[in-house]
């Protein structure tokens, strides 16, 4: 009589592989549909692995200079001690300084904001779209989708470890688009 343990072992392996395949397909579907943020978490994991495998290069960058200007001293309201020579018994004259009144402020920096505004093409290209709009305000870029895609594809050229130690591109490429100059 044959032992039934061999077919049962095969059945267990097949059941384990089937369970593994079902779990893998569920995980892939969760990532693909971004169910419960699984797609975002997977993208972060891929970015961390990419930064570990291919870290940003050590390029020389301009030093960061932070200058905070001292506030101007304000003069409090003070009495003028100029007493009239004829009227020695008069009190000094006090000149009050009125407090500023708060109100709405309308600031219009750009005459035609529609000419320099462009939405981000994907939910991950917000910094690229912001840089594109800043360049368009200065007259250095257009607001086409092609230019936004070009900026996005060239981020690696301006990436530097000194700019950002968290494995992502830093601010240097925003101030020096098209090819960051090296100090020297």
The CA distance from 162 to 28, in Å, is 36
Question: pLDDT band at residue 91, thresholds of 50, 70 and 90?
Answer: low
Structural domain contains residue 150:
yes
Q: In this structure, are residues 93 and 83 in contact, taking their beta carbons and an 8 Å threshold? A: no
pLDDT at 108 > cutoff 90: no
* Range picked from 28-32, 48-52, 121-125 for highest mean pLDDT: 28-32
- Which of these, 82, 109, 106, lies nearest to 94 by C-alpha position? 82
Instruction: Note down the domain range covering 23.
Output: 8-53
Query: Is 70 inside a domain boundary?
Result: no
In a domain, 100, yes or no: no
Above 60 in pLDDT, residue 181? no
How high is the pLDDT of residue 16?
A: 93
Q: Is residue 171 part of a domain?
A: yes
**Mean pLDDT lowest for which of 9-13, 35-39, 46-50, 90-94?**
90-94
Q: Is residue 107 part of a domain?
A: no
pLDDT at 120: 92
Better-scored residue on pLDDT, 55 or 164: 55
Q: How many structural domains are present in the chain? A: 2
pLDDT bucket at 170, cuts 50 / 70 / 90? low
61 within some domain: no
> CB–CB of 154/138 below 8 Å?
no
CA distance 42 to 32: 10
In a domain, 99, yes or no: no
- Residue 42 within a domain: yes
């Amino acid at each position: 009589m044959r032992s039934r343990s061999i077919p049962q072992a095969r059945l267990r392996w097949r059941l384990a592989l089937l369970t593994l395949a079902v779990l893998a397909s569920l995980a892939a579907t969760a990532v693909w549909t971004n169910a419960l943020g699984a797609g975002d978490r997977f993208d972060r994991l891929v970015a961390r692995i990419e930064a570990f495998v291919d870290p940003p290069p050590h390029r020389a960058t301009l030093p960061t200079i932070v200058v905070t200007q001292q506030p101007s001293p304000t003069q409090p309201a003070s009495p003028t001690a100029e007493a009239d020579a004829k009227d020695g018994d008069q009190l000094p004259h006090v000149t009050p300084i009125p407090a500023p009144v708060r109100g709405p402020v309308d600031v219009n920096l750009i005459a035609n904001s529609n000419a320099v505004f462009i939405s981000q093409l994907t939910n991950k290209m917000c910094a690229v779209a912001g840089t594109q709009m800043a360049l368009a305000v200065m007259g250095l870029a257009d607001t086409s989708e092609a230019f936004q895609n070009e900026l996005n594809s060239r981020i690696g050229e301006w990436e530097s470890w000194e700019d950002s130690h968290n494995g992502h591109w830093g601010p240097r490429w925003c101030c020096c688009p098209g090819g960051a100059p090296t100090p020297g």
